Amino acid sequence: CLSVLLLQSNTVSLVRKSFDLDKPCKRFVFYQHNIGYHSDDADNATSATIENPLGLGNFSFEKFVIFNK
């Protein structure tokens, strides 16, 4: 059973479609950075988390992350 699974995973990895970088595509890649903004690492931060903004009362965004370029 394990050998069949490994054989299938190798076959799938060999049949990948190459991407033409000059053509537009409908492919979206999401990269999540793990260096969050805190008060002591603002220069190194790649994202900021909004968890409970001031002035909105008990409203919660759950976990909403903003990324910079």
Q: What is the pLDDT of residues 37-68, one digit of tens each?
A: 555 655 655 555 555 555 556 665 555 555 55
The values of phi and psi at residue 62, to 5°, are: 60, -105
Rounded-to-integer distance, Cα 52 and Cα 60, Å: 6
Q: For the chain, percent helix, then strand, then coil, each to nearest 5?
A: 20, 15, 70
Rounded-to-integer distance, Cα 16 and Cα 14, Å: 6
Residue 29 exposure: Cα atoms within 13 Å on the Cβ side: 3
Domain ranges of the chain: 28-69
pLDDT for position 22: 76
